[in-house]
A and B are shown apart, each in its own frame.
Chain A
Amino acid sequence: MTELLRTENLARHFKIGNALSRRTLYAVDDLNLSIGEREIVALVGESGSGKSTVARLLAKIYKPTSGEIYFQGRPLSQIRSRRDMLRYRGDVPMVFQDPFASINPVFRVSHGILRALKLHRPELSAAQRQAEAASVFETVGLTPAAEVLQRFPHELSGGQRQRVGFAQALALRPKLILADEPVSMLDVSIRIGLLNLMAKLRDEAGVSILYITHDIASARYVTDRVVVMYAGRIAEAGPVEEVLAAPQHPYTQLLLSAVPDPRAELNVGATTDRGEPPRVLDPAPGCRFRWRCPLATDECARVTPPLEELRPGQHAACHVAAAAAASGAEVRAF
């Protein structure tokens, strides 16, 4: 698979507090992520894990504190001209979480998509823009397109609005869509429709998608590769079936044990964990999951575990799992 985007030791820290109490929030650290062409990669994590910060870094909304992003082999920090910037934004558009807040309510839905087309594809005439807008609306399942384009956002359901978001992204002929929790605000019954749409966009339009979610079951449904983040770092990454069948990192195990699964019996193993948010304010070296981890050792408090390949294609950042993998043993925290 050809590589489309790669990050190298990407980090983003935020300064918070005032002159008297300066603290640093380590939102993303040491992130090495790669996305291939025609690939859907899932970035899974809970609130505060830094997954939305990653999306904003890739969309160039935030500047990295350190590290570099390479898109088609070229470093993003080299982008200087407005033209290159526009082209990148067209290549890598974003779909937002809240379909009620991300579309301007005072304009018809055609407004946003036609403006984006005018800006990013100036070669098109007004009639061609209309035709293009209608065609992408058809692609995302908003039919009859000509009629839906003339509606106001409040006349559409949440699922339809989120499809408008994907249509706007798709109109730019993107290479990679950054989808930040695109289905979490929608009803369960229509989530599947959007997940199916993402798979269709990959198969038919050849687009790659970074699917950011806290729902690992939906990640499994559409993706082949999953990256689990915890407290700004990658905890585990690998092919989705392998990660689900044999999770190496205790956090992945906790996450999987908490997923409600009506087809399975109740797993009460993880009930002692309260799901408290991770600590990312001035974290000292050491594993950031150690306060919640039943297997934590002295080493976990001293040394930050590196991301290592523990099984073919499957990487995890955990001292205990690494030691166990070396001796052929299995680790079960939850």
Chain B
Amino acid sequence: MSSVPGSESAGPAEGSGRLASRAGSPAAASFPPAGAAPVPDAAGQPVLAVRDLTVEYVMERGTVTAVDHVSFDLGPGEFLGVVGESGCGKSTLLFAIAQLLAPPAGIAGGSVAFRGTNMVGLTDKELAAIRWKDLSVVMQSAMNALNPVKSIGAQFSDVMRAHGVRSKQEIAARSAEVLRMVGIDPVHLGSYPHQLSGGMRQRSMIAMAMLFTPDLIIMDEPTSALDVVAQRSLMVQVKELQQQFGFAVIFVTHDMSLVRHFSERLLVMYAGQVAEVGETRRMFASPLHPYTAGLMEAFPSIRGPRVPLTGIPGSPPDLAQPQAGCWFAPRCTRVMPRCRTSQPDLYQVDGTLARCFLHQEEAPGGGRP
């Protein structure tokens, strides 16, 4: 992966589309066939290539590795779901990708190549040129992410002016256009965040993220504060916009059932590590890691027979306490003696990667992927 720090135009030709210029492009790669490997674009390059990304929190009681050698690729127009419990490092991973970490957290190793450019180590000025334009982040709570004393339109205008759009007509036209795209009447450009419902605030955050039609939108639990009806409506809308404009999405959630119908691939995190990564359909059909299976069985259903469920007993491990074996071993229903003494690697089974000794033998070469 070549890294060209400071160069903002190093991306593939396809990635330079601005504003609505890509509206006509086909909803390419909306359901890529393969599991762990994303579909590359024409130039054969993923939008995002994360390699051995490691994030550490340096604290009084020691160093905690919140993200531990995470690697994955994201193809153009791909929808990746990142799932796991609180404290498994999924939000830290997002922040590390978007270069938003603040002390005591810091990237201790690895690279995040966005359209070929390694973003780790870029200056604030270089990042500012990318943010909102090529890469947007939608935060968990839109109420806290939006400025309460500025109207929605003023906040949209700030973003566009920061990227050199000066014409007032152009700003007004584009702002109205993106609001319409997410299903909000442009009259709300004059509204303040408190005048909007939770669903509308979250939609306007997504509209703001789309002002420049970026290549990648990162979403951190955008629906967790919403009711089921608003949640479903927002998910469908994100998926439609994604298919229309072809941006890639990383969607973080603790609710696996939510991304079942919307993501092509899933990345399950546990204790800062990738527990399992692969195609969503395949994972739901036959989860490889006992943690993935546990997450799936934690949901009561509104259909079918009422069956007693157990969830996943216990709680996520304290990452400050080093452990010899697999992090999940204390809660695992299929634990084996060696799980307590050595850490499993990621083993590849039918295009899915799983960090579990159960699959060591099935993997080609009996070990390393």
Contact = CB atoms under 8 A, between A and B. Distances in A.
Contacts of A264: 303
Interface string A182-226: 000001111111011000000000000000001111101100000
Given A189-B294, A220-B302, A266 B229 contact: no
Interface in A251-278: 254-266, 268, 270-271, 273-277
Given A221-B300, A221-B306, A262 B232 contact: no
B181 to A, nearest CB: 14
Contact of B227 (A190, A266, A275): A275
Contact of A274 (B233, B284, B303, B315): B233
Given A46-B228, A259-B228, A274 B199 contact: yes
B176 to A, nearest CB: 18
Nearest to B240: A271
A143 interface: no
Contacts of A189: 85, 294-295, 298, 311-312
B183 interface: yes
B328 to A, nearest CB: 12
Interface residues of A, number: 44
A192 B228 contact: no
B310 A192 contact: yes
B255 A188 contact: yes
Contact of A192 (B86, B232, B304, B311): B311
A66 interface: no
Nearest to B307: A221
A157 interface: yes
A264 B303 CA distance: 8
Contacts of B183: 274
B258 interface: yes
Given A189-B311, A273-B233, A274-B183, A216 B302 contact: yes
A144 B71 CA distance: 40
Interface string A90-133: 00000000000000000000000000000000000000000000
Contacts, number: 126
A271 B102 CA distance: 38
A187 B303 CA distance: 22
A158 interface: yes
A260 B311 contact: no
A192 B284 contact: no
B315 A157 contact: yes
A50 interface: no
A44 to B, nearest CB: 10
A276 B199 contact: yes
A190 B315 contact: yes
Interface string B250-263: 00001111101100
Contacts of B303: 244, 261, 263-264
Interface of B: 85-86, 183, 197-200, 226-233, 236, 254-258, 260-261, 284, 294-296, 298-304, 306, 308-313, 315
7 closest cross-chain pairs (CB), A and B: A275-B230, A192-B311, A275-B229, A221-B300, A46-B227, A189-B312, A262-B260
Interface of A: 46-47, 157-160, 187-193, 195-196, 214-218, 220-221, 244, 254-266, 268, 270-271, 273-277
